[in-house]
Chain A
Amino acid sequence: MTALILRDVRLAARAGGSAMLALAFFAAVATLVPLGVGADLRLLARIAGGVLWVAAMLAALLALDRLFQADFEDGSLDIIALAPLSLEKTSFAKITAHWLTTGLPLTILSPLLAVLFGLPVQAIGALFISLLIGTPAVSAIGAIGAGLTLSIRRGGLILPLIVLPLLSPAVIFGAGTVLSALDGLRNGALPLLTAFSFAACVLSPFATAAAVRLNLGS
């Protein structure tokens, strides 16, 4: 499994496209929103959690359609599927690699962008923690969509329609975590986000493997 994770991380680093594109998209959205909303720092701080969470989620989705498709198109997926690794473990490795190359860099960049929204330090910390815990769910649930749209031409257009509704709890609880830090209240958003992310990471490899298996037989 480590070999597959390392290969995918290496490919992402060498191709340079998807991770950099995701970071650039995230930075662009986070920069444009304060320009559009204006200089009301109170308002910006209130909406920061939701805006940054939605921006991070959409940025992470940019590279998701290639999660299996590149390997499917060049024949690698057939050979990977015949390896001793089960398709469930293969899916888990792919999810991990996607998170390492997309979700983690987005999380690391988020405190810098949060400054543009005038978020206080404790809320920046909450944003960082919520993205650190929540972005694996984005990769995990996104992988199901990537598996389902594997053999569909231009499946990348359908993928967000499948995945975004499923990711709404992550946005609600993620933004809620930032708001709770901002207001100094405990609203239970972080434990719920943790539970959601954990459940997504545990269950997704099975659903993803089933979707990939279906497409390998097509």
Chain B
Amino acid sequence: MLFRDLSFRVEVGRVLSVEGANGAGKTSLLRMIAGFLAPAEGTVALQTNGAVVTDGEERGKQIGWLGHHDAVKPQMSVRETLQFYGALYGGGGPIEPALDAAGLARLADLPGQYLSAGQKKRVSLARLLVCGRPLWLMDEPLASLDTAGKKIAAGLVEAHCAAGGIAVVATHEALGIDCERLVL
């Protein structure tokens, strides 16, 4: 059992920073919210358009995921990667503004195999914009990023929440923006 009696609520427009030691269950909590894992007891509910969604797969349709791994294929360029996810998620955000926002415009046509770990993380951030989901679940979004990249990540989270989104961020590093904290 990773955690017991855990209860929290995140309002629209807010960022929740999930903190804790290694193995405390931060990633498991995010995977539970995403619907990949079912809680042994209790519920995870998402209120959207007046309806409360408790089904894991239905909840997943509101979620933008940034995990430990970057989901960047070595054989696909940055632009192709974003175009693929845009098409898969249907009706997501446009590609070019997402590339600009993540500081990837110059690297747009570079295959994934030539990207550094930090650049791949930026692709993940751009993918969140392209997928256009209201709830962002981010697992260590600042890992591998340089100072400029961390500013971009924090700025994107802030802008997303200001536009009515929600972000739940599992992190060891402070995001540097106004957020609520949950310590596991």
- In the bound complex, CA of A150 to CA of B83 (Å): 26
A115 within 8 A of B: no
Contact of B71 among A3, A15, A75, A84 (CB under 8 A): A75
How far is the CB of A99 from the nearest CB of chain B, in Å? Answer: 20
Known: A10-B76, A85-B88. A78 touches B67 (CB 8 A): yes
Chain A residues near B131 (CB-CB < 8 A): 79
Q: Interface size for chain A: under 10, 10 to 19, 20 to 34, or 35 or more residues?
A: 20 to 34
Chain A residues near B90 (CB-CB < 8 A): 84
A43 within 8 A of B: no
B85 touching A79 by the CB < 8 A rule? yes
Render B55-91 as a binary contact track against A, CB cut-off 8 A, 1 for contact: 0010011011101111111011000100011011110
Across the two chains, which residue of chain A brings its CB closest to B61? A84
A74 touching B88 by the CB < 8 A rule? no
Chain A 1-30 interface residues, beta-carbon cutoff 8 Å to B? 2-4, 7, 10-11, 14-15
B108 within 8 A of A: no
How far is the CB of A181 from the nearest CB of chain B, in Å? Answer: 41
B114 within 8 A of A: no
Chain A 74-127 interface residues, beta-carbon cutoff 8 Å to B? 74-76, 78-86
A75 touching B68 by the CB < 8 A rule? yes
How far is the CB of B122 from the nearest CB of chain A, in Å? Answer: 15
A74 touching B71 by the CB < 8 A rule? yes
Across the two chains, which residue of chain A brings its CB closest to B128? A79
Across the two chains, which residue of chain B brings its CB closest to A80? B88
Chain B residues near A85 (CB-CB < 8 A): 88
A14 touching B75 by the CB < 8 A rule? yes
Contact of A82 among B38, B63, B70 (CB under 8 A): B63
B142 within 8 A of A: no
Render B19-38 as a binary contact track against A, CB cut-off 8 A, 1 for contact: 00000000000010010111
Render A34-67 as a binary contact track against B, CB cut-off 8 A, 1 for contact: 0000000000000000000000000000000000
Known: A81-B60, A84-B61, A216-B36. A75 touches B69 (CB 8 A): yes
A15 touching B75 by the CB < 8 A rule? yes
A75 touching B67 by the CB < 8 A rule? yes
A184 within 8 A of B: no
Chain A 133-170 interface residues, beta-carbon cutoff 8 Å to B? none
- In the bound complex, CA of A71 to CA of B69 (Å): 10
Known: A3-B88, A84-B89. A76 touches B36 (CB 8 A): no
B160 within 8 A of A: no
How far is the CB of A51 from the nearest CB of chain B, in Å? Answer: 34
B70 touching A74 by the CB < 8 A rule? yes
Chain B 106-123 interface residues, beta-carbon cutoff 8 Å to A? none
Known: A217-B36, A217-B38. A83 touches B89 (CB 8 A): yes
Chain B residues near A84 (CB-CB < 8 A): 61, 89-90
Known: A4-B88, A217-B37. A82 touches B61 (CB 8 A): yes
Across the two chains, which residue of chain A brings its CB closest to B37? A217
B127 within 8 A of A: yes
A-B contact pairs, 30 of them (CB 8 A): A3-B87, A3-B88, A7-B76, A10-B80, A11-B73, A14-B75, A14-B76, A71-B71, A73-B69, A74-B69, A74-B71, A75-B67, A76-B71, A76-B73, A78-B34, A78-B65, A78-B67, A79-B67, A79-B127, A79-B131, A80-B88, A81-B36, A81-B60, A82-B34, A82-B60, A84-B90, A85-B88, A216-B36, A217-B31, A217-B36
Besides the known contacts A79-B65, A81-B36, 7 further A-B residue pairs in the complex with CB atoms under 8 A apart: A74-B72, A75-B69, A75-B71, A79-B127, A82-B64, A82-B133, A216-B36
